[in-house]
Amino acid sequence: MSVLVYAEHDNAALNKVTLSVVAAAKEIGGDITVLVAGKGCGAVAEEAAKIDGVSKVLCADNDAYEHQLAENIGDLVAEVGADYSHILAAATTTGKNFAPRAAALLDVAQISEISDVIDADTFKRPIYAGNAIATVKCGDAKKVITVRGTSFDGVAAEGGSASVENIDVAKDAGISSFVGEELAKSDRPELTSAEIVISGGRGMGNGENFEILYKLADKLGAGVGASRAAVDAGFVPNDMQVGQTGKIVAPNLYVAVGISGAIQHLAGMKDSKVIVAINKDEEAPIFQVADYGLVADLFEAVPELDGKL
């Protein structure tokens, strides 16, 4: 068995989620190779070579891979991946974009967002917004898999000493191009890796009111998220959405503020270690999953909490 792990990065640094994908690869077993594709991504390849348990790093440094366009990355992964029994990527918007493309090119199924490895062919994954957990077995000779980062504790970023091999595989499909991006700039921890996450819902009323959450978050070193209702209402940008179709988080502490707790939201946060809910509606379903519920007006409770920490 041999596993190819696709590294998630921004051409400058490795995204921590890759450590979780390597952890899943280790559970599958066999040699682990990490593929770093990007432009000017040599430093990322060096970083990947230090990951515990990685035996080889392949670095595909080419203009065509700068923005992770699925058409080009899909072709690359299908070609490089032909030599491996398993191809793993993080279930991020990058991995979800190119991995099914690579799988189809290889004429194999993809197993999406696994949360557990049973054996080399068998995996657990959430279905129906996490309301059921399926154990699935794939008979295809090659498995293309995306990995739910929060379900696997990342391996150590240091300790390995893999070799880095530059590969000269230029795949430019020439059918798509990058126009631009608007990336959220924040000094707060990234939602999927934050130890504490504070999220606001429709009850916040507007975007300005999120300031009280940002203030509390900065005191706790927390990331700030939101429910779909808050994003749909335009209070905050889409990258803050926690839920079935947004980000999946599992911090030590999740504080849900003014969030009713639709099943689609619960799907994104119910694996958190401790959940606190602050909501003035005592009937809100969020209280059914909260370890500590506080029935109160958030505009009084949050500043008070901030003052007492």
Among 3, 48, 76, 196, binds another protein (CB under 8 A): 196
Closer Cβ to another protein, 202 or 270, answer by number:
270
Q: Alpha carbon of 44 to those of 34, 152, 183, 246: distances in Å?
A: 11, 21, 20, 26
x-marked contacts with another protein along 50-69 as a string, rule CB under 8 A: -----------------x-x
* Amino acid at site 45: A
* CA nearest neighbour of 120 among 22, 19, 3: 3
Question: Counting contacts by CB under 8 A, is residue 166 touching another protein?
Answer: no
Distance of CA 262 to the CA centre of its chain: 21
Integer CA distances (angstroms), 35 to 7, 15, 87, 182, 198, in order: 6, 13, 10, 26, 34
Based on CB atoms, which residue is closest to another protein, 85 or 112? Answer: 112
Retrieve residue 9's tokens. 């990065």
Q: Which of residues 118-157 bind another protein (CB under 8 A)?
A: 122, 126-140
Residues 80-109 within binding reach of another protein (CB under 8 A):
92-94, 96-105, 107-109
Q: With CB under 8 A, what is the number of residues at the site for another protein?
A: 89
Cβ-contact 48, 80 below 8 angstroms: no
CA gap 239, 247 in Å, rounded:
8
Which range of residues in 28-36, 150-158, 164-172, 226-234 is near another protein by CB under 8 A?
226-234
- Measured from the CB atom, the residue of 166 and 176 that comes closer to another protein is 176
281 binds another protein (CB under 8 A): no
| Residue 41 or 57 with smaller CB distance to another protein | 41
Q: Rule CB under 8 A: say whether 184 interacts with another protein.
A: yes
